[in-house]
Structure 1
Amino acid sequence: MTTTLEPETPAAVEPPALGLHTDLSNEDYHADKTSLSSSGARKLLPPSTPAHFRYEQDHPQPPTKTFDYGNAAHKMVLGNGPELVVIEHDAWTTKAAKAEVAEARARGAIPLKQHEMDMVNAMADAIRRHPLASALLEPAYGAPEQSGFWIDEATGIRCRVRFDWLPSQQDGRLIIPDYKTTADASNEAMQRDIDKHGYNQQADWYETGARALGLGDHTAELLLIAQEKKPPYAVNVIGIEFGSRVIAGNKNRRAIETFAQCESTGYWPGYADTEPNYLALPGYAENRDKEMYL
């Protein structure tokens, strides 16, 4: 008689304990689907929707070149992250090159061309020459990639944060540096990026997380270290003004409540699903057409 063995059901993975973790891997941090992160909170709110958030949680996106550049720069600047592997082929279209790229990705490494490796090395050198950025990321006084988990008291939702860098001295006002790579680190461009990417929400989330984790003396401030990806790899250290962080705090509160509601009901809505959305022309178009047709 032939016995058919049923496939084993994978054992449930316990989420990380509450508190600060200094040695949790990036993979284990992101594997916790029971908690809400800053990027998740931003994905729950317009112009995105809970449906988009849920889909991305269930269907992780493959790495892109932009993603690779950012992670590689993080590794060189912060000193922690995946292995960087130079693929010694002029073009990655050959069978041999594709095999080497696939093998590197399979073991969690980031494949780079030689000029890309030179770029991230030059970026790290530029950070070390910058007086303020180098002081904020001084290895003798801090450590990279630390994770924290806490409970939002108002909803009971688990929240999480992964700090790029945490100072080891935490008995006073806590400064939290966060490293960003960008095409343009000027003040004007970064103002647009703060709005586009919700960096003010990230600042509020990280500062809230630091307080919840008992770091510092209950005062914390996130500073963005923005660096351009082309020579001279210019660096701009940026703080988020108070009013923008207040707005961000209200947005994060809405996101947490939305997450709690969706978790409770199991329903992750997209756009309008009970009433139609009535839309006007964009402001510039309405102003243009009013002059001609009204």
Structure 2
Amino acid sequence: MTGLLKIPGAKKPKPAPEPKVREKAEPLPKPSAALKMPGAEEVVVVDGPRRILISEPGMYFDMPSEDYFSEPCPEPALTNTGIGILINQSPEHFAYNHPAIGQPPAERRATIAMHRGSVVHRLALGAGKDYSVINAPDFTGADARSARAYAERKGKVPILKGHFEQAQAQANILYGHIKEVLHGEPFLSEVVVAWKVETSHGEIWARCMVDAWCPTLMRAVDIKSTTDASEEAVIKRMVDGGYDTQDVWYRKGIEHVLGCFGRVAFTTLFSETKAPHCTHPVSINEAWATSAWDLCEEAAETFGRCMKEGRWPGYPRETQKLAPPDWLINQRLARRFSLESM
């Protein structure tokens, strides 16, 4: 097993820290200290924020999330989020939302749920953006809004005290369940994986960020906060959220980097946001994984073609003749039969 982990820049796995009860997270390492990764070029300034350009496939540790999401690869890379946009929308939507291709708004205001999810990640994994607890019932007051704006300017996640306490309770339980999934083995948090994928249009870059990676078990864990972690709800979220493609995309990426094809496992760990904060670890079977990988390959081919041609088309420009879906036909037939029987 140890032979598989001789990756440039890989650090020895250390147990993730126990969540601490604190009003404020310890400061993250400064980029100059945290980003010493072989294969990485000099830190450059692109449109303001500092980021790393990865020059070779591998696993990268201690990369701040803002650098990852600003595109650390030397060329635009395909992610699972991008796969969902290419499959469900269009290349034009993909290009607009990609930090290295389009020009999306500089700031997209995160929702309260997104902020809480970020804090849960920070508390449970010991990695991620720092946060600032705001002692107010909501953000309607001038002081609370001012505190929120100040935290955002400092690159921190603003969270109300009541929401922080809920996030803390969720994270305390979640951390214990992560350890159960990994049988108590040590894990690394927010590991960035970058690799290359061959398409019929040429080679493309791909990347992902793994919430928790356990080298001993060769298992990756991704955390999803949800209001309902029942089996029925989880299956729906796996499809609607693109978590099935995430499963195979992450596994293929890690296997490519480590050269251990077919040996990496992946668990999606759903965590309920309300007490008692139950969790539900799931993975997809081979049949589901095969269909999900088909979508990944379709998106990779589309991405490769668009990169080669430099064109990112939207929806069809000509008027489309639409056919009714089966559910609509059945609904209309049922209505007709109901009326005829009256």
TM-score band, normalised by shorter chain: 0.7 to 0.9
Query: Once the two structures are superposed, what CA deviation does each residue of 1:108-134 show, in whole Å capped at 9, x if it has no partner?
Result: 11111111111111011222444xx32
| Other-structure match for 2:128 | 81
Q: Percent identity?
A: 25
- The answer to whether the 8 A contact 1:74-1:81 is kept is yes
* Match status 1:209 vs 2:247: no
| Other-structure match for 1:277 | 320
- State the one-letter code of the partner of 1:280: A
- The answer to whether the 8 A contact 2:80-2:242 is kept is no
Q: 2:189 aligns with which of 144, 148, 155?
A: 144
| Other-structure match for 2:286 | 242
| Other-structure match for 1:5 | none
Q: Which has the larger displacement, 33-42 or 276-285?
A: 276-285
| Other-structure match for 2:276 | 232
Query: Once the two structures are superposed, what CA deviation does each residue of 1:9-58 show, in whole Å capped at 9, x if it has no partner?
Result: 96997621321111211111111162111111111112x11111112223
Say if 1:119 and 1:239 are closer, same or farther in 2 by CA, change over 3 A.
Answer: same
| Other-structure match for 2:149 | 102
Distance of 2:308 and 2:68 partners within structure 1: 23
Cα offset, 1:290, TM superposition: 3.4
- State the one-letter code of the partner of 2:92: A
- State the one-letter code of the partner of 1:97: A
Query: Once the two structures are superposed, what CA deviation does each residue of 1:41-76 show, in whole Å capped at 9, x if it has no partner?
Result: 111112x11111112223153312221121111111
Runs of 4+ in 1 over 4 A off after TM superposition: 8-14, 137-140, 215-218
| Other-structure match for 1:257 | 301
* Partner SS, residue 258 of structure 2: coil
* Match status 1:120 vs 2:167: yes
* Partner SS, residue 246 of structure 2: helix
Query: Once the two structures are superposed, what CA deviation does each residue of 1:115-162 show, in whole Å capped at 9, x if it has no partner?
Result: 1111111011222444xx323468861110110111113331011111
Distance of 1:260 and 1:285 partners within structure 2: 36
Distance of 1:237 and 1:217 partners within structure 2: 23
* Partner SS, residue 157 of structure 1: strand
Distance of 1:249 and 1:111 partners within structure 2: 37
| Other-structure match for 1:15 | 53
Say if 1:9 and 1:108 are closer, same or farther in 2 by CA, change over 3 A.
Answer: closer
Say if 1:285 and 1:83 are closer, same or farther in 2 by CA, change over 3 A.
Answer: same
- State the one-letter code of the partner of 2:329: E
Query: Once the two structures are superposed, what CA deviation does each residue of 1:246-266 show, in whole Å capped at 9, x if it has no partner?
Result: 011111011011111111222
Say if 1:216 and 1:77 are closer, same or farther in 2 by CA, change over 3 A.
Answer: farther
Aligned length: 280
Could you list the runs of 5+ residues in structure 2 that have no partner in the other structure?
1-44
The structure with the greater share of residues assigned to helix is: 1
Query: Once the two structures are superposed, what CA deviation does each residue of 1:60-115 show, in whole Å capped at 9, x if it has no partner?
Result: 53312221121111111111111121111233222222111001011111111111
Q: How does 1:17-96 map to 2 (within 5 A)?
A: 17-18=55-56, 19-32=58-71, 34-46=76-88, 48-57=89-98, 58-59=103-104, 61-96=108-143
TM-score, normalised via structure 1 length: 0.87
Distance of 2:175 and 2:230 partners within structure 1: 19
- The answer to whether the 8 A contact 2:116-2:164 is kept is no
RMSD (Å), alpha carbons: 2.5
- State the one-letter code of the partner of 1:24: M
- State the one-letter code of the partner of 2:295: K
Distance of 1:43 and 1:16 partners within structure 2: 24
